[in-house]
Amino acid sequence: MHHFNYKNGRLHCEDVALDTIADDVGTPVYVYSAATLRRHARVIADAFDGMSCLIAYSVKANGNLGVLKTLAAEGCGADVVSGGELMRARKAGIPASKIVFSGVGKTRAEMRLALEEGIHQFNIESSAELGVLSEVAKSVGKTARVAVRVNPDVAAGGHPNISTGKSGDKFGVPWNDARTTYAQIAETDGVEAVGVDVHIGSQIDDIAPMRAAFEKVMTLVKDLRNDGHDIRRVDLGGGLGIPYRSTDNPPPPSAYAQMIREVTEGMGLEVILEPGRVIAGNAGVLVTEALFVKPAPQRNFLMVDAGMNDLMRPALYQAHHDILPVRERGADDEKVRYDIVGPICESTDKFAAERDMPCIEGGDRLAVMSAGAYGAVLSSQYNARPLVPEVLVDGDRYAVIRRRPDFDEMIALESMPDWLS
């Protein structure tokens, strides 16, 4: 469910025409719907109503401060995977007590920052990391609350590159080492075990592997309690899929929540969730302008002004995005088959292959749908293209929440060695 619809023949975000934003800010540009972000946060919160539950939005899906502040106002906490994301979350007003720190390779400086902020929990992924965290915690006179991210050896996720819970993935402590790791925590100063953490992948379109993983985690919680550990929380990660095509049918948050209710029933656990994509994914589009059509043997290349540096998902995960013309067309308009490609000097710079679209001409605008998560956060200045701007819409108003840098800003961090100047 999202708030991008045609009104008066033009695609709108809430009550603002995408053309209005494109005329003002230029293209390419990301446009986010505050109403969609809020709606998703509320649907999830409502689904877990009555449970002790922290919704720690996964900042890596979309970490723009305007997005974070919108979600903070809904009561969301944050799941961060770097010191930078931690500072973003804090700057957006998310209290440290609602922040969990995940990630397989935290530095000492990041650990120190998180300890000084007093975050809710560290999710640790190896006994080596545990040793370093203990040293850092002792050096600042604090105790780190930790959960061990376990690898339940369950396959899930929409693409091999976003599956994380299978034995052989770099993530988590191997299932059979989990109890030993908790025994190590009990003997180590500066760290205290409070929970168990699991995150098995992203864009998961089936409840069954999640249930299998979470049931395994519950047996581990019981074992750990029998071993004498005070396990009060489970962090069940993120990963719920979203519809990228009209035929996709991921489980609704209500079914996901019902499953978690059943699995955690009677365990007396605080449940932490780390949803990212399901909150931000369908809340954003990338608006791009068609440059021209380049006919080629057996193909029409539709060149657009956005590139893989602006939206990496198709190149990185062979991801599908629906692409809609901003100017509405009739249902029976003749269709033309296009390869929709960007200007980057890479063959992977392709948003869609053999896509049937109404006839597009240079100057027409297109909206790449469902680009709110893992879109702008993955953008770069490759090919010396300015970082893509971001706009937040709320009802009939909009604001630029990251502007496009000018050329001087793009090169501002570079300096000439004195032997060249």
Q: What are the binding residues?
A: 239, 274-277, 313, 317, 346, 374
Q: Shortest gap between Cβ of 202 and ligand PLP (angstroms)?
A: 3
Q: Shortest gap between Cβ of 239 and ligand PLP (angstroms)?
A: 4
Identify which of residues 238 and 389 has a Cβ nearer to ligand PLP in the complex: 238
Q: What is the 3-state secondary structure (H, E, C) of 293-305?
A: EEEECCEEEEEEC
Contact at 8 Å (CB) between 343 and 305? Answer: yes
Contact at 8 Å (CB) between 32 and 67? Answer: yes
Query: Does 102 sit near ligand PLP (CB under 6 A)?
Result: yes
CA distances from 158 to 100, 228, 375 (A): 24, 38, 17
Question: 3-state DSSP call for residue 303?
Answer: strand
Binding residues for pyridoxal 5'-phosphate: 239, 274-277, 374
Q: Shortest gap between Cβ of 388 and ligand PLP (angstroms)?
A: 20
Q: Shortest gap between Cβ of 16 and ligand PLP (angstroms)?
A: 26
Binding mask 10-49 for ligand PLP (x = CB under 6 A): ----------------------------------------
Query: Does 253 sit near ligand PLP (CB under 6 A)?
Result: no
Residue 20, Cβ density class (10 Å: 0-12 exposed, 13-18 middle, ≥19 buried): middle
- Residue 228 burial (CB count, 10 A): 9
Of 70, 181, 202, 379, which lies in the binding site for ligand PLP, with binding defined by CB under 6 A? Answer: 202
Q: Shortest gap between Cβ of 102 and ligand PLP (angstroms)?
A: 4
Residue 239, Cβ density class (10 Å: 0-12 exposed, 13-18 middle, ≥19 buried): buried
Q: How many binding residues for ligand PLP (CB under 6 A)?
A: 17
Query: Does 63 sit near ligand PLP (CB under 6 A)?
Result: no
Annotation says 53 is catalytic: no
Identify which of residues 60 and 321 has a Cβ nearer to ligand PLP in the complex: 60
Which window, 84-92, 140-148, 237-245, 413-421, contacts ligand PLP (CB under 6 A)? 237-245
Give CA–CA dist 152/155, Å, rounded. 9
| The two three-digit tokens of residue 32, written as one number | 């986010």
Terminal C-alpha separation, the chain: 55
Identify which of residues 100 and 344 has a Cβ nearer to ligand PLP in the complex: 100
Contact at 8 Å (CB) between 43 and 253? Answer: yes
Contact at 8 Å (CB) between 291 and 305? Answer: yes
Where does this chain bind ligand PLP (CB under 6 A)? 58, 60-61, 79, 102, 199, 202, 237-240, 274-278, 373
